[in-house]
Structure 1
Amino acid sequence: MNNKTFLNAPELHIVIVAFSLHFVWELIQTPLYECFRDMHYYTVVLLIIRASLGDVLISLAAFWSASVAVRSRFWILDKGKKGLWVFLGMGMLITVVFEELATGPLNLWEYTNAMPILPILGTGLAPVAQWIILPLLQLWFVRRQLLGGSISGY
């Protein structure tokens, strides 16, 4: 794979944009999780980095699921919505299942009283909102990058 091919790979842009967006979101939502209350600043930053890398993996899994569904790694450039819905749906499914496991049987973290809980899912509103808002922003940025900074024609 040459440099130009590597730089045009949608996965590269997914990773960079996903990490950037999710890092900021994860940092902002720390008051909604009990585990961050009495932690040292550097420990919090390391956990935020780890969470953001997990978000990148979810983004890649959702991206590849959409790529398989539409049979193209460049579905972000298409006007069809199938890739978008698969991407959003897979990201949301992984997030809800992981949040349920993490706050339930795995006991990895718990929400503070400030976290609104969705009644049907039992999941916090922040992680669900994260996987509605950020993937849409992510796709917009990635599409723009793949088109060379232009968003005309869409």
Structure 2
Amino acid sequence: MSIKKIFFIFITAFLLNTVWEHLHSLLYIHYKGGEITNFILFRATLFDAVFITVLIFVMANIKSLNKTWFLVSVSVATAILIEIYALSTGRWAYGAMPVIPIINTGLTPTVQLAFLGYITKRLNKIS
């Protein structure tokens, strides 16, 4: 995979996650007890875009698996672990967030990496 392709994957993931982070930030009460600022949303977006870019790069270089299921399953598992950690340590708290029963994580953060990773993969024509 070329540097140019990786760059476009990152930009796509960054733009999609910027919109997502700003929209679903309204479903949270706070970040570390304080206001959710644009800088906090930028950092979250940057992490998400780097994660998706690295995951797609790894996925593209593995030949013997269903790449879409790899992308989705690793993304959902990672999101669940991040949410469980963040909620248990008080990094953030949900407000009007729909919560998935049993795992007790927010719907939008749980599906974000998988959904936007898949969209990024499709928009960049990664097979």
TM-score bucket (shorter structure) = 0.7 to 0.9
Pick from 104, 112, 115 the counterpart of residue 133 of structure 1: 115
1:44: Cα distance to partner? 1.4
Residue type of the partner of 1:52?
Answer: T
Over the matched positions of the two proteins, sequence identity in percent amounts to 24
- Tell me how far apart the structure 2 counterparts of residues 119 and 88 of structure 1 sit (CA, whole Å): 20
User: Which of residues 14, 18, 34 is equivalent to 1:19?
Assistant: 14
Work out the CA distance in 2 between the residues paired with 1:47 and 1:92.
Answer: 22
Length-normalised TM-score, structure 2: 0.83
Distance 1:13 1:20 in 2: 11
1:103-132 alpha-carbon deviations (Å, 9 max, x no partner):
11x3211111x1111112111011123234
Who is 1:58 aligned against? Answer: 51
For CA contacts below 8 A with separation 6 or more, give which structure has more relative contact order: 2
Structure 2: gaps spanning 5 or more residues: none
Q: Distance in 1 between matches of 2:105 and 2:37?
A: 22
Partner of 2:86: 102
Q: Indicate the RMSD between aligned Cα atoms, in angstroms.
A: 2.5
Deviation at 1:38, TM superposition (A): 6.9
Contact kept in structure 2, 1:26 and 1:52, CA below 8 Å: yes
Q: Which runs of 5+ in 1 are unaligned?
A: 72-80, 147-153
Larger Rg: 1
Distance between the aligned counterparts of 2:113 and 2:34, measured in 1?
Answer: 27
Aligned length: 125
